[in-house]
Structure formats: structure tokens, C-alpha cells
Amino acid sequence: MKTFERRSERVKSIDLHPTESWALLGMHSGDVCVWNYRSQVTEKTFEIAESRVRSAKFIARKEWFVIGADDGFIRVYNYNTWENIIEFKAHSDFIRSLIVHPSHPYLLSASDDKEIKLWDWEKGWECTKTFQGHEHYVMQLAFNPIDTNVFASASLDHTVKFWDLGSSDPRSSINGHTEGLNSVEFLETGEKLYFLTGSDDHTIKVWDYESMTCVQTLEGHTNNVTSLQCVKLDASFIITGSEDETMRVWNTKTYNLDYTFTSELGRVWTIAFIKDSSE
């Protein structure tokens, strides 16, 4: 195992470039860093906002990155020229999550204002849809990998909701935790589609997407579960991060806990995995 390390102020968000060895770091300070995880050199630092950056994403096909901050603004930059493409007030409260559609010119944003918004950059970053229905902060979003017209949202109202891009109302809603949800992720196997939820009740639940039933509860964390990653290499794994200062690796075949890693840097807020790599 290789260890990559960069000492900094709190890191609130990590995204990995699909072709370059770059990690995009959204910082508690309002800065955004492009860090080369192989050379362990900070290649670029952008002083962007005076408030926390909780979500930062590459839009590699446009050579952009986009950030959402606690001031409710979305800001878009060209990461080669440093050009500020656009910035605009998107929400009336903290922006918690951004996701980029894999093929359409769409960005989804989720906020503490309980709303999710769809932005079309080919229409001048027009907000073309607002999704309402959550009763508390919307913490994370995830696209369905099989049908990318569908996405999921996790909220502190204890629910995960599923939405069609063409409708402002949720198509379904699941309440299966005793505390709020911080994270949601899809797990695609050769046979079925699952989704996972991580909660302040210290558990992770695995759900059958077709039947919307819980098939497994993963227990072991001793504090809020903040982040999830599903990894497919020779075998499939679920990696979870928590405010208990650990990351845990679970086997998707047996749901056994295979490894526990203790963070020397404190609470784990976000996880990113280099796919198709041993690193």
C-alpha cells in the first residue's frame, strides 16, 4: 500500500481527475487546491471564497472545475488558464453536494435550504429545475449508474429520495435510519443494483434498488458515518469514513469487515478512490 499525504487545513471535499493524477481539494478556508497525488506537489491553489468549500468537482470534458461554498455561490473555473468562467448565487444556504452528469451539460446542487437544483451550462447556467420535498439539509447526491436520468439524495430528515430529472417531485422515498443521512452511493454488481446509505446513527445500510428493501446493516463505526465509496477491483468493496476517525473496508460478498484504518488526522469527512489502480 502507498500513502499519499498533504498537510493542510481541514479538507471538506476531494474529487479525482479521470485522466490526470490530480486531486481537487475543497478547503475549510475557502481555497481550492489541485494536488498531484503521485508527485505530492500542489500544482495550483485558487483563493476562491471567504467561506468553506464543501464540494468541488472536475468537469474534465470542459477543462473546468466547479465549487459550491457556504455563501450559497457556485463558482466555475478553467483549471488550465485560471479563468473564472462564471459565479452566481445558487442557494440561500450552505451548498453541501455537487454532482456532474456523465453525458449531459448538467450540474446538480444540494443545499441546507432543503432544495436540489439542476443547472444547464449550455443554457448559460440556467436553473432548469428545482427539486423540493426534503424537510432538512440535503447532504449528498448520486446518479444512478444504469439510468442517469435518475438520481438519489440523502438528507438529515432521515430519508433517501429518488428523483427523475424531468420531475420536481420525488418518485420514491425511503426512511430506514434512526438518525439523519449524510451519504448515499450506488453499488452496481453483475446481477443487481444496490444503493448504500450512511447515517448519524453510526450504521451503513445496503438496499436492493428494485425492491427498495434493506438487505444488510453494517455496524462497527462508533460515530457519524460521513462518506461512502464502492470499489470494484478483483473483488468488490465498500469503503466508509466516519467521525470516529476511522475508514473501514467491507466485503460486498459477505458484508464482513475486512480492514479498519485509523486516521492520524482526525475525523474523516470525504473519501476518493483511484479506480482501476492499485494505489
Q: What is the DSSP string of the chain?
A: --------S-EEEEEE-SSSSEEEEEETTSEEEEEETTTTEEEEEEE--SS-EEEEEEEGGGTEEEEEETTSEEEEEETTT--EEEEEE--SS-EEEEEE-SSSSEEEEEETTS-EEEEEGGGTSEEEEEE---SS-EEEEEE-SS-TTEEEEEETTSEEEEEETT-SS-SEEEE--SS-EEEEEEEE-SS-EEEEEEETTS-EEEEETTTTEEEEEE---SS-EEEEEEEESSSEEEEEEETTSEEEEEETTT--EEEEEE-TTS--------TTS--
- Higher pLDDT among residues 60 and 27, named by residue: 60
Give per-residue pLDDT as tens, 186-234: 998 877 899 999 999 999 999 999 999 999 999 999 999 999 988 765 5
Q: Does residue 278 carry a pLDDT above 50?
A: no
| Predicted pLDDT of residue 2 | 46
CATH superfamily of the domain spanning 133-273: YVTN repeat-like/Quinoprotein amine dehydrogenase (2.130.10.10)
| Predicted pLDDT of residue 234 | 52
Q: What proportion of the chain, given as a percentage, has pLDDT over 90?
A: 73
Domain ranges for the chain:
10-103, 133-273
Q: Does residue 28 carry a pLDDT above 70?
A: yes
Q: What order of strands is seen across the sheet that includes strand 31-36?
A: 11-16, 22-27, 31-36, 41-47
Q: For the domain bounded by 10-103, which CATH number is listed? A: 2.40.10.480
